[in-house]
Structure 1
Amino acid sequence: MSTKPSAHPSANQGVNLLELKGVHTHIGAYHILHGVDLAVPRGQLTMLLGRNGAGKTTTLRTIMGLWQASQGSLHFDGRDISKMHTPHIAGLDIAYVPENMGIFSDLSVKENMLLAARKASRVAQIDEQRLQWIFGLFPAVQKFWNHPAGKLSGGQKQMLAVSRAIVEPRKLLIIDEPSKGLAPVMINNMIDAFAQLKASGVTILLVEQNINFAKRLGDTVAVMDDGRVVHAGSMAELAEDEALQRSLLGLAL
């Protein structure tokens, strides 16, 4: 199956599409991120791993401007986004799928997709070629097109959430734990879909707890602990080094 290109060509063709340098984030009285350095190479899939509470979700929310960095810098495609607000960051063609998926349960699958398509006021205005491409990635989205989103299974809701994120071309796709709570067959479907997304040219940053998911998809990896990135490098190298895995994650892949 052919994939439709998902990323726009950029005038700023640096190696890294997204860079965080020395990022600190406070939430109320709590100091959550303690100088995060993170690089997301253009056109690759970067896994963000770490134990629960390591700061992974806070990092994603800081990138999206949902929480403001109190120190450090965030650059996307060569542009400083450190002080930008969430709608402006999303407007740079960054899509974020939070852990709770963010779909509207009372609306149909079709209505959820239409809401995400900023350039369309009715379904007929959504790029038909792109919609068919999404249906190929996630057949359940087409099958349940007119059904209430709240009636979908967990895996189908996750597929809808990702479909909403890619209904328009994006430069960067940020997803928090896409395999959480999914049955193995659904996880395999999701892995296949992300592999196709990556092949289409979109840059992806994934937080994931499923190690098999990370091992099969990741190009590069960053491991967080206590609000910092404590390891960064090749996913393949980490997957082959059991001692390093146990040291960083307390387990072997």
Structure 2
Amino acid sequence: MSDNLLTLEGVHTHIGAYHILHGVDLVVPRGQLTMLLGRNGAGKTTTLRTIMGLWQASQGRISFGGKDITSQRTPQIAHLGIAYVPENMGIFADLTVKENMLLAARNARSAAQMDEQRLQWIFKLFPAVEKFWNHPAGKLSGGQKQMLAVSRAIVEPRELLIVDEPSKGLAPSIINNMIEAFQQLKQSGVTILLVEQNINFAKRLGDTVAVMDNGRVVHAGSMQALSQDEALQQSLLGLSL
């Protein structure tokens, strides 16, 4: 079995008249945390949405676990064991935290049927989810909503977790909590693909990294190597880690 759980080969995406992705090549190694970096407008979110089938690739191939998923619909892709947390988190504000979690637990029709052992594991990762279990999700803070969004994505076992900018707008203490949670998720065997703008967040978490610019991956390698090469950081991102 390939060491790469997810592979994109020459992926192009058009949205209306706009050509957004121009031949993206990306590999996500199994069991590792891959960071997808790049300036605003580089195509990172479009790449995630194309992987999930929310936008269809107009050219190229996307494979997951060796299976071609390029033309599959989003529900089919999710059933393969891929969870996606979009940048806007997708929280149902009028529902309680419990109801949001139950919606994602496809094998449960009531909270009593949810996997209790898995819930307790999630509560240890994100104590706020348990604390506000019966509260309307719309009344949570930004950091608490992000914790709920990730918790909802992992309420059932997933092979791959894709998250778009998990640290955006969060306080430093919440970011540290999120980093610890992702580290524990990785240790549990979940493969993770993160889009991130917080470079410290990326440096602390990433095993591998891909940098996008103008709809292409222009650099791929180890996160450690990029974090130690200031000239490369300036060239790719216009900043120093």
Give TM-score scaled by structure 1 length: 0.95
How far apart in 1 are the matches of 2:208 and 2:113?
37
1:146 and 2:134 equivalent? yes
* Equivalent residues in 2 for 1:8-157, closer than 5 Å: 13-157=1-145
How far apart in 2 are the matches of 1:134 and 1:237?
32
Cα distance per residue 1:188-224 (max 9 Å; x no partner): 0000000000000000000000000000000000000
How far apart in 2 are the matches of 1:239 and 1:121?
46
SS of the residue aligned with 1:136? helix
How far apart in 1 are the matches of 2:2 and 2:220?
19
Residue identity opposite 2:185 in structure 1: L
Q: Which of 139, 150, 154 is matched with 1:166 structurally? A: 154
What number of residue pairs does the alignment pair up?
241
Shift of 1:91: 0.6
How far apart in 2 are the matches of 1:102 and 1:221?
26
The runs of at least 4 aligned residues of structure 1 exceeding 2 Å deviation read none
Give TM-score scaled by structure 2 length: 1.00
- For 1:214, the equivalent position in structure 2 comes to 202
- For 1:183, the equivalent position in structure 2 comes to 171
1:202 and 2:190 equivalent? yes
Shift of 1:103: 0.9
Q: Once superposed, what is the RMSD of the aligned Cα atoms?
A: 0.3
Q: Which of 218, 227, 230 is matched with 1:230 structurally? A: 218
- For 1:4, the equivalent position in structure 2 comes to none
SS of the residue aligned with 1:59? helix
How far apart in 2 are the matches of 1:165 and 1:94?
9
SS of the residue aligned with 1:46? strand
Cα distance per residue 1:105-163 (max 9 Å; x no partner): 00000000000000000011111110000000000000000000000000000000000
SS of the residue aligned with 1:71? strand
How far apart in 2 are the matches of 1:112 and 1:83?
29
How far apart in 2 are the matches of 1:194 and 1:18?
19
Residue identity opposite 1:122 in structure 2: S
Residue identity opposite 1:50 in structure 2: G
How far apart in 2 are the matches of 1:226 and 1:75?
23
Gaps of 5+ in 2: none
How far apart in 2 are the matches of 1:125 and 1:232?
43
Amino-acid identity (%): 83
How far apart in 2 are the matches of 1:26 and 1:53?
14
Shift of 1:14: 1.1
How far apart in 1 are the matches of 2:174 and 2:7?
32
